[in-house]
């Protein structure tokens, strides 16, 4: 029997998988395969975890050299996601343990989060959040409106050919022009 241990961080507090279909039906249908969730949430898998299984399906917990040391049974660590930040790849090589990732499994969520981050930065969302929480958003909007108004006035003055320094200074001070 090929035994697979699945890290418990796949489950939400209600005990359901939050990632949609992760292929457990295929494991159920495969002859000679048994799987189970690890009994507890852990930040790092131990040698005791690894000793119980032929394969580990891992979301976030770290897989380090001490996890793999002296584990003749463990054949594969399948990391659900991209990157090897939480896996000691050299230790996997030394232990003869195959390591896989699922780069296409998170392509769309990663792209969406990157785009969200870019939009949040370009619209100064964090600054606006802090101003709103401090009750200062109205003052910031007024300052933005006044600054925009000053540039509009400057543009109008330049368009008319009115380049008098006093007019430009009064425009920037918000006195019109």
Name beta bridge partners: 100: 78
Length of the chain: 177
Give me the helices (H) in the chain, please. 24-29, 47-51, 65-68, 89-95, 107-122, 125-133, 137-160, 165-172
Q: Collapse the DSSP code of 27 into the 3-class scheme (helix H, G, I; strand E, B; otherwise coil) and give the result.
A: helix
- When pLDDT is averaged across residues 51-61 and rounded to a whole number, the result is 95
How high does pLDDT run on average in the chain? 83
- Taking the CA atoms of residue 69, residue 75, residue 81 and residue 86 in that order, the dihedral angle to the nearest 10 degrees is 0
**Kind of pairing between the strands at 2-6 and 76-79:** unpaired
In the prediction, which pLDDT does 91 show? Answer: 95
pLDDT digits (tens, 9 = 90+) for 97-156: 999 988 776 777 777 888 888 888 888 888 888 888 888 777 666 666 666 666 666 666
In the prediction, which pLDDT does 18 show? Answer: 82
As given in the structure block, the two tokens for residue 58 are 């891992």
- When pLDDT is averaged across residues 48-70 and rounded to a whole number, the result is 95
Name beta bridge partners: 170: none
Q: Is the pTM of this model over 0.75?
A: no
Band the pLDDT of 177: cuts 50, 70, 90.
very low
- When pLDDT is averaged across residues 60-74 and rounded to a whole number, the result is 93
DSSP assignments along 47-87, one per residue: HHHHHT-SEEEESSSBB-HHHHTT-SS--EEEESSS--TTB
Name beta bridge partners: 4: 35, 55
Q: Collapse the DSSP code of 128 into the 3-class scheme (helix H, G, I; strand E, B; otherwise coil) and give the result.
A: helix
- When pLDDT is averaged across residues 59-79 and rounded to a whole number, the result is 94
In the block, which residue shows the tokens 């979301």? 59
- Which one has a higher pLDDT value, 71 or 36? 36
Query: Rounded CA gap, 11 and 18, in Å?
Result: 6
Angle subtended at Cα 11 by Cα 9 and Cα 17, rounded to the nearest 5 degrees:
130
């Amino acid at each position: 029997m090929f035994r697979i241990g699945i890290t418990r961080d796949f489950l939400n507090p209600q005990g359901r998988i939050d990632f949609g279909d992760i292929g457990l039906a295929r494991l159920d249908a495969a002859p000679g395969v048994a799987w189970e969730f690890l009994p507890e949430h852990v930040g790092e898998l131990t040698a005791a975890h690894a000793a119980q299984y032929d394969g580990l399906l891992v979301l976030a917990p770290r897989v380090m050299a001490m996890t793999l040391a002296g584990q003749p049974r463990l054949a594969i660590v399948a990391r659900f996601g991209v990157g090897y930040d939480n896996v000691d790849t050299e230790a996997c090589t030394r232990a003869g343990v195959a390591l896989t990732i699922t780069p296409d499994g998170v392509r769309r969520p990663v792209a969406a989060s990157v785009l969200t981050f870019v939009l949040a930065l370009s619209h100064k969302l964090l600054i606006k959040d802090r101003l709103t929480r401090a009750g200062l958003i109205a003052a910031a909007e007024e300052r933005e409106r006044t600054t925009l108004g000053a540039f509009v006035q400057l543009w109008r003055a330049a368009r008319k050919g009115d380049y008098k320094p006093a007019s430009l200074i009064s425009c920037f001070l918000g006195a019109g022009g």
